[in-house]
Amino acid sequence: MYSRRVFVYVIIVASTPLPSEGLCISKAQRTQKMDKMDPCLSSKPITSLSSIKAAPLSSRYHFNHADEGLCGVAGSQKVILMLNSLRTGVTKISLNHNSLGDDGTCQLFAYLSSTEGSKHRSTVAEIGLTNNNIGCEGLRAIAEFVRGNDVLRTLWLTNNAFTPDPVILTDFANALNSSRLCLVSLTGNAQLGDLFVEKFLPFLRSRSLQELHINTIGLTPRGASAIAAWVSGSRKGGSQGACYLHIFKCSGNNLGVRGVWEVIRAIEKGNWALSKVEMYANQLAEPQLQLLASGQSLMEPPRDQPSGIPETEEGWKDCERGLHRVIMRNQYWRRRTEKEACNLLRYARPLLMYTKLPSTPSMSPHTSNPSMSTTLFPFFALPNELKLYILALFAPSLSSAQRVRIYKYASDPATLPSLIPTFRWGVGIEYLADPSNLGVSSYGLGCPDGKYMGACNTIICRREAERAKFLEAVGCCSYEPELEGFVD
């Protein structure tokens, strides 16, 4: 019955006379006319898949309520209610361009630190609080949340109302030292000034912190000395190498040519970790230029630096060339250090792990059977000192301390990768295989052939994450000069 109705319907539609174009109408025009007459016979799809806007996988766990007029305690309570209504924890909280202030910020982080908000504390990896009029009390609450936090990785505190309170700045630095934060941005807090770098940087010794932004915070040539001392680890009472940053941004201040040169010289002499430094737009302010023109000194020049560096365009070009030269040096040695560390682990793992395995009679070097003793690799019969000396030839650029850490890592069975396949690795971060190339050989190995999945690489390859984790564990994220008096 249904096939007969469809057949009659097709005959009726097909026999419908077309407009007066007659036989001169083209095939494309005839198809267009038929589409207008009956959408059911259209040759074009009614809904195009390309017109559907796909949401990124990572955005499913993002809590984004920026620029929504959230003010004070009332705005914080609204945020807490929305967070409580979620069934799972979020990985990113973005509350930029609101007005939470100190009271709202204290209440929000008190909730995140409580038992009720523990589901978000255990998953949130990024928090954005740009332009929220947060002061020192709010910063104190943030420091308490950051202290001991091993999940949070990124903290945006741009364009707030922080002031250089020495007690709170010291507390914030100590909280960062005990956390796993990788990026902190304090850009745009113009009231911080030179006192911030003098009271905050001497206490900052976090090995996890890789990126720090202090653009436009009102620094003068006086602050350049504090930055240089921290970068080179030469401050009084501090241990060498307290700055483990890879990226440092200090643009839009008033350090001047001499101040920038002082920082560059400090990096050249005592820092091998920084691979990207930005110090653009650091010209002196007009009052400072007037003092310089009158012959007054703005800062005491270093011993190895001439006192008459001109504040000219050519002087700034010299700064740029000098900084580029130092950064290229650090980048080269960092790549070489990472490559040699991975290469050393490849050979040290089977050779050193074997010595910790329980020996069997057939594998013992003192066995009475000559045929069995010849099957033993001669390397295992060598003294430990010779074993480590031979392995050190695979990584000549590493320091003795770095090689010792790799030896301990390689000989520890607890550091062996898991053989159980998993699609979730770590807290709050998912690693998925590419469904277009998912085979048996790549099952459980993360992204096959190093491929990434997701928009803008929002999902990280597990192989790269494990490599970065290893380099951080053995302290081989940057070149480390040999310390005097250290015996391998």
Q: How far apart are CA 21 and CA 307, in angstroms?
A: 90
Q: Comparing C-alpha atoms, which of 176, 177, 175, 214 is closest to residue 196?
A: 214
Pairing of strands 276-278, 92-94: unpaired
Domain boundary among 274, 309, 334: 334
* C-alpha dihedral sign at 193, 196, 198, 199: positive
Are residues 141 and 12 located together in one domain of the fold? no
Are residues 189 and 79 located together in one domain of the fold? yes
> 366 lies in a domain?
no
At residue 18, does pLDDT exceed 70? no
Write the pLDDT tens digit of every residue in 358-410.
Answer: 554 444 444 445 444 445 678 888 888 898 999 999 999 999 999 999 999 99
Residue range 210-220: average pLDDT? 96
Q: Which amino acid is at 250?
A: C
Residue range 126-131: average pLDDT? 96
> 351 lies in a domain?
no
> 16 lies in a domain?
yes
Write the pLDDT tens digit of every residue in 238-294.
Answer: 444 478 999 999 999 999 999 999 999 999 998 999 999 999 999 987 655 545 445
Strands laid side by side in the 126-128 sheet: 62-64, 92-94, 126-128, 154-156, 183-185, 211-213, 247-249, 276-278
Are residues 40 and 184 located together in one domain of the fold? no
Q: Which amino acid is at 42?
A: S
Are residues 324 and 386 located together in one domain of the fold? no
Determine contact, residues 244/206, Cβ cutoff 8 Å. Answer: yes
CATH assignment at residue 260: 3.80.10.10
Count of structural domains, the chain: 3
Give the lowest-confidence range in 48-57, 111-120, 132-141, 277-286.
48-57
Domain that holds residue 434: 376-488
Domain boundary among 310, 334, 358: 334
Strand partners, 247: 211, 276
Give the lowest-confidence range in 20-29, 88-97, 105-114.
20-29
Are residues 17 and 67 located together in one domain of the fold? no
Are residues 190 and 135 located together in one domain of the fold? yes
> 409 lies in a domain?
yes
Residue range 132-146: average pLDDT? 96
Helix, strand and coil in the chain, % to nearest 5: 50, 5, 45
Structure tokens at 81: 């209610």
> 371 lies in a domain?
no
> 322 lies in a domain?
yes
Q: How far apart are CA 321 and CA 326, in angstroms?
A: 9
The 3-class secondary structure across 195-244, one letter per residue, is: HHHHHHHHHCCCCCCCEEECCCCCCCHHHHHHHHHHHHCCCCCCCCCCCC
Question: At 274, phi and psi to the nearest 5?
Answer: -65, 120
Report pLDDT for 41.
43
Beta strands in 211-366 (DSSP E): 211-213, 247-249, 276-278
Report pLDDT for 26.
54
Residue range 178-205: average pLDDT? 95
* C-alpha dihedral sign at 441, 446, 451, 454: positive
Are residues 301 and 241 located together in one domain of the fold? yes
Torsional class of 67: left (φ above 0), alpha (ψ -120 to 50), beta (otherwise): left
Choose the most confident range, by mean pLDDT, from 20-34, 281-295, 331-345, 464-478: 331-345
Are residues 35 and 87 located together in one domain of the fold? no
Structure tokens at 210: 């890789």
> 341 lies in a domain?
no
At residue 128, does pLDDT exceed 90? yes
Are residues 154 and 200 located together in one domain of the fold? yes
> 222 lies in a domain?
yes
Compare 483 and 141 and report the one with higher pLDDT.
141
Q: Which amino acid is at 56?
A: P
Helix axes 462-473, 313-356, angle to 10 degrees: 90
Q: Is 52 exposed, middle or buried (0-12, 13-18, 19+ CB in 10 A)?
A: exposed
Are residues 135 and 223 located together in one domain of the fold? yes
Question: 3-state DSSP call for residue 94?
Answer: strand
Are residues 78 and 225 located together in one domain of the fold? yes
Domain boundary among 315, 334, 353: 334
Determine contact, residues 18/33, Cβ cutoff 8 Å. Answer: yes
Are residues 392 and 462 located together in one domain of the fold? yes
Q: How far apart are CA 319 and CA 326, in angstroms?
A: 11
At residue 429, does pLDDT exceed 60? no
Q: How far apart are CA 60 and CA 91, in angstroms?
A: 9
